[in-house]
Amino acid sequence: MTIQKVMIIGAGQMGSGIAQVCAQAGLDVKLNDISEASYVKGVQTIAQNLSRNVVKGRITEDEKDIILQRLTKSLSIEDAADVDLVIEAAVENMTVKQSIFKQLDDITPQHTILASNTSSLPITEIAAVTKRPEQVIGMHFMNPVPVMKLVEIIRGLATSDEVYNDIEELTKKLEKVPVEVNDFPGFVANRVLMPMINEAIYTLYEGVASKEAIDQVMKLGMNHPMGPLTLADFIGLDTCLYIMETLYEGFGDSKYRPCPLLRKYVKAGWLGKKTGRGFYHYE
């Protein structure tokens, strides 16, 4: 199937990034959010990213304008009535995602593929609320989307080979690298990454070293571009906690138990960079 019209649900950090790479690839993109303010902020972020690319000589000003013209505002999920693909990038919550997919199942054409950018939740469970589970798939983009090359493509229990192949080809068109993974909690990226971050938080919690020291060890000793506590702030501590809880519940293994310090920070509203305070302070 040729995918040309796409709706992205959620104009936040992930959704706006996905919308940008889709528009850059020549797709017609409806960027949907329940909040007009969030939509405006998302488009502003895209415009700023593209302006940086103009300054760096990667695209021209005319190309930037053409990319932005491919974006259409959507404040209603009903606007999905004529698209070939929906990529949901809403909050990481199963109840919310199932509600969205149930509505999309009724609104979208029969051929439309329904994808989720979930970072940890089971695709099979999301697909179960639709009458087209064979057309539901996971597309887990990495943050920041315009920069990071990886997309984990997750098959649900019923996902068809045809749908998988269509999404794999689209991912390549977006100039990303598709990697197929199976439908287990956390998939590959977060099943490996989040326990490392959680262990770094335990290391801080137990007084083994300061946050700066922990990050320095991982940056200089393991050649990571940023330390795990800085990365947790960048991801959002609420997101980190939710993913750890998903892993803990999904596997029933105590090694995935979220650190009490992580819970405390989230309860305090110290969610990282987006709130100005997490393990570090931000202006």
Structure tokens at 16: 């706006």
Amino acid of residue 216: Q
Q: Which position among 140, 180, 210, 283 bears the catalytic label?
A: 140
Structure tokens at 224: 């990571």
Q: What is the DSSP letter of 256?
A: G
Is 190 considered catalytic here? Answer: yes
Is 245 considered catalytic here? Answer: no
Cα separation values, 9 from 64, 142, 178, Å:
22, 16, 21
**How many CA atoms lie less than 13 Å away from 105 in the CB half-sphere?**
17
Q: Which position among 88, 120, 152, 198 bears the catalytic label?
A: 152
Amino acid of residue 175: E
Identify any residues that bridge with 115 across adjacent strands, giving them in sequence order: 87, 137
Query: What is the Cα Rg of the chain in Å?
Result: 19
Could you tell me which residues come within 8 angstroms of residue 250 by beta carbon, excluding any fewer than 6 positions away?
Answer: 122, 184, 185, 186
Cα separation values, 59 from 15, 51, 55, 226, 260, Å:
22, 9, 8, 28, 46
Q: Which position among 119, 165, 182, 254 bears the catalytic label?
A: 119
Catalytic residues: 119, 140, 152, 190
